[in-house]
Structure 1
Amino acid sequence: MSELQFAQSLSRLGTESAFVVLARAQQLAAQGKDIINLGIGQPDFRTPDHIVEAGIKALRDGHHGYTPANGLPVLREAVAADLHRRHGVEVNPDHIVVVPGGKPTMFFAVMMFGEPGAEIMYPNPGFPIYESVIRYSGATPVPIALREENSFAFSAEEVLAQITPRTRLIIINSPANPTGGVTPKAEIDKLVAGLMEHPHVALMSDEIYSNMLYGGREHVSLLQYPEIRDRLIMLDGWSKTYAMTGWRLGYAVWPEAAVPHVTRLCINDHSCVNAAAQFAGLAALTGPQDAVQDMVAQFDARRQVIVRELNTLPGVTCTDAAGAFYAFPNIAGTGLTSMEAQNKFLDEAGVATVAGTSFGKWGEGYLRFSYANSTANILEALRRIREIL
């Protein structure tokens, strides 16, 4: 009989509930139940053909070995050029670190600043990995409440009021998962101005949905504030914009002082990113952007449908989703808790959603719907939920 003794720190490590819901949905589907998945957060589009071909060509050309730990120089230069094109900022390619997806940047940033006695602030409701890794590091997680009445944008005044001498890192995410909220420039301006009084605090800005804004909104990157560049980690990548979730390819712009530390973390953790995936990422940045524009236009059309239809459900209200590809309706009027609604809709209606509490305590009374599915499936899913309610 095994008597393995695992590290106690593992008990502090959470999970991403969307994958738990996905596994349950797949189990029901295998039993013959017709499931519509509005739970998982990944585009339902194929990676554009020219990107796929670039990855295949890289393999055929013999790119089978290790690459630099921080990413191919030509790819980091392309990232810098793309950031200049999209945000009008100059970025030193040596400050860019390419990693396998978005999560390594989150993990490295939190582990770099988190330890017992430290505090790290994070959005709530927010991507569950933030709080999970903060707890794993031994630091104290301090939630930044995102409220429906504020269109799920953070309040700079509230954020600044929570800073203490123990605060090491503030995580922000706009456009946001799970709410679809977008924080306006005026609020970001206030946050940056207030941080001038707290030079010991670093920021991690998760901008993975930066290409997905609607209704004429424009993305505000924290890179556009030179006064905080020496303590800013800006996370972005290919997964959402180019429908490349399975390619596992992301990057971050790091402060110069942090680059040696994160490079060592890369070497210890994963050595380098898959070579062929990096060449595919290069083709994505330097090739035609038509597929991205088409995908975002289709998301916008679906967004309008799902928000309109959610507002017709009994006991449900939904604010306008401003970015990403999520709607986050208020279901309090149904009399169901978030978890009860998630389970009821999946088991009885065959519709996968994710309980708001999977994203933090401030998510009670809400559900996350991903509209990364066809309009026909969205309409059918909401028809089934309407019958249940």
Structure 2
Amino acid sequence: MTTIPGGPAGQFVEFFRRHWSRGAPGLDTPNWVLLLAYRVWVLALLFKLLGSSWDMSWHFKYLRDDLAPPHLVNTVGTVTVVVLVMIHTYTGMGASKRALRLMQAGTAIFLVAAPLDVLNHRINGLDLTAWSPSHALLYLGTAIMILGVIDGWIGQARPGREKTALLGVLWILFLENVLFSNGQQEYGVLELRSWDRGEPYAEPSLLRFAAEQMGRPVDREAVIGFALPIHDWVYPVWGVVAGGLVLVAARHTLARAWAATAVAGAYVAYRALIWPLLVAADFPPSTVPFWMVFVGLAIDLAHRRGLPRTATVLLGATLATVFGYAALYLQDRLIAAPPSAYWSAPIALALLAALWWSAKPLARLANRPSTVDTASQP
């Protein structure tokens, strides 16, 4: 590998000196350029991660502010993403055509969704849920963007520890984005408990504003409408199905026996780390989804049996649902967890099995290798 002096700053200067010219996507890329680009991608996504984590806690305490510090942190990441996509687009380096199209599409959706979200708040006031359409577009754009980064890194990085490590980080970031909307309930359940203790985390102005939007006085029902407006079945179903599918994909692409457990564990470790930092800064806490580790463990265990693909899918979906719901129940009893409708377990099992099984045929239709069929993995 060519060594470029001067650290990252020197590498940036050298990149523009040597390689700043128009090229088609998939252009052969020197390894040092590839590493530089994707390390900056991770940095940009980390800024977005920190900003979004702070943002969720911020909105359970204060009335919304377009220029709130969490938004500014997130914006640093977004601006860096835009610059990276422009560089990939112009030079054709570091990404295949498919990866570049995903990066471009995801970034475009996010950039459209951001002002729509601001407009939504201008018209409708406080947005009481992380599950709103404008928020969903933000998550969708970020998800497509990260998929493009994952696809580009898998396709161009040299085999080795750095490829595996960076790919693992990207899957952790992708999992966090997919599960981010569940934060509504994870913060909401503790917000309601704070009200019941007589020490609400939310500022009086926020509770008053939320209650006025619902046409109610500031009472417990208004706090429930603000903190926990989502049906109780959504939280476990989304965690098992959406989170489970991400962990299946991560296991396949990482090609490691306990990859799903490791990705889920790293995500939970991040949530456990950010929790005391937010509390120390006097922001509301959330429950930590420890139960998601058991969803990852179930997926890994299903693949240890060496069964045919269909049997692996059925076993994996069954174990992920049983382990996930059981761990969620125990967490609720031992620590804290959002209200969950446990009768939804069969629905989660059926959805996970159907989507997992259909992924390989859909991948074939797209003329690409499947990223979720892991039956052949050890």
Q: Same fold (TM over 0.5)?
A: no
The answer to which structure, 1 or 2, has the higher relative contact order (CA under 8 A, 6+ apart) is 1
Bigger helix fraction: 2
Bigger strand fraction: 1
TM-score normalised to structure 2 length: 0.24
TM-score normalised to structure 1 length: 0.24
